[in-house]
Amino acid sequence: MRHPLPTVVLLLALAPVAVPPATAEGPAARWPLSPTPTVVQGFDPPTSPWGAGHRGVDLLGSPGQAVLAAAAGTVRFAGMLAGRPVVVVDHGGERTTYEPVRPAAGIVVGRRVGAGAVLGDLEVVGSHCPPRACLHWGLIRDVDDVYLDPLQMLGAGPVRLLPWDATATPATAPPPAAAWVPAVTAVVTTLVTALGLPPAVTMAAPAAAPAAREP
């Protein structure tokens, strides 16, 4: 279980500030990695403010890959926090967090950035999916410091992660009994005729199950 202290420090250090709305600059939101990354771990909000959970999504990247601002806003924090390099962008009402990200030159507190602006480089140290490099992307609502699913910025909603064998092709289901009864009946009839037996053997499709009686 993750220790709650880093979360407490993050919330206290990144308290919201008043900034102009960011919707006037460029597209409303975009993926913070390009091309569109794979979601390694989805959003799993805690049941209590300081409880265990996954307060964001982990996006698969590569060491040194450019991390981009998901939406226009103002840099609220850029530096080390709880032993990890973090960049936070305030969008006016909500703020996005990016870690572990080494801030690019010029990415300092108060700097205005547009959607898609380079915030820094993705680091391996502090990754949520070692030994791979993953970007932990978070979204926090300013008014109550509640973590939200950042994928909602993209209109993607929650992501359901598939098990490893989920892409296997399912086996073809056998045909229902009613489909093979005529063929079997034809074979039996042929045998009966060939052997000179009385035509007393017949087959019928299975009767439908009686409808369930409502209580």
Digit-coded pLDDT (tens) for 27-42 = 479 999 999 999 998 8
> Are residue 194 and residue 104 in the same domain, yes or no?
no
DSSP H or E stretch at residue 176: none
Determine, yes or no, domain membership for 138: yes
* Residue 96, domain CATH: 2.70.70.10
Q: Reply yes or no on whether the pLDDT at 137 is more than 60.
A: yes
Closest listed residue to residue 70, CA positions, set 124, 140, 139, 11: 139
In-domain check, residue 195:
yes
25 and 119: one domain?
A: yes
Q: Which residue range forms the structural domain that includes residue 181?
A: 175-203
Q: Is residue 54 part of a domain?
A: yes
**Does residue 39 lie within any of the structural domains?**
yes
Of 99-103, 117-121, 134-138, 169-173, the one with minimum mean pLDDT is 169-173
Model pLDDT for residues 172-212, shown as the tens digit of each residue: 344 444 454 565 566 556 554 655 656 544 444 445 444 44
- The mean predicted confidence, pLDDT, of the chain is 73
Distance CA 12, CA 76 (A): 13
The mean per-residue pLDDT over the stretch 48-58 comes to 77
Check residue 198 and give its pLDDT: 60
Q: Does residue 189 share a domain with residue 97? A: no
